[in-house]
Amino acid sequence: MKKRQGEIECMSVTIRGALRRNGRLPRYLPSGLLVCGQCGGTSRRVNTREYGCASHVDGGHAACTNGIRVRGELAESKLLEELQREILSPEGIALLESKVGENMRGRRQLCCMVRGSLVEAVGPRSVNLQ
Ligand SMILES: [Zn+2]
Q: What's the pLDDT tens digit per position in 46-63?
A: 898 999 999 999 999 999
For residue 53, the CA-to-ligand 1 centroid distance in Å is 5
User: Within a domain: residue 104?
Assistant: no
Three-state secondary structure call for residue 43: strand
For residue 44, the CA-to-ligand 1 centroid distance in Å is 11
Task: Answer whether 0.85 is exceeded by the pTM.
Answer: no
What is the extent of the structural domain holding 62? Answer: 2-99
For residue 98, the CA-to-ligand 1 centroid distance in Å is 35
Taking alpha carbons only, the member of 77, 100, 79 closest to residue 34 is: 79
Residue 129 has pLDDT above 50, yes or no: no
68-103 per-position pLDDT tens digit? 999 988 888 888 888 888 888 888 888 888 888 887
> Residue 13: what pLDDT?
58
- Does residue 13 contact residue 5 with C-beta atoms inside 8 Å? no
User: Within a domain: residue 129?
Assistant: no
Taking alpha carbons only, the member of 55, 76, 81, 56 closest to residue 67 is: 56
For residue 78, the CA-to-ligand 1 centroid distance in Å is 19
Strands of the chain, DSSP E: 43-45, 50-53, 70-71
User: Within a domain: residue 12?
Assistant: yes
- Number of structural domains in the chain: 1
> Residue 43: what pLDDT?
87
For residue 55, the CA-to-ligand 1 centroid distance in Å is 5
Q: How far apart, in whole angstroms, are the C-alpha atoms of residue 28 and residue 68?
A: 18
User: Within a domain: residue 9?
Assistant: yes
Band of residue 109 on the pLDDT scale cut at 50, 70, 90? confident
User: Within a domain: residue 82?
Assistant: yes
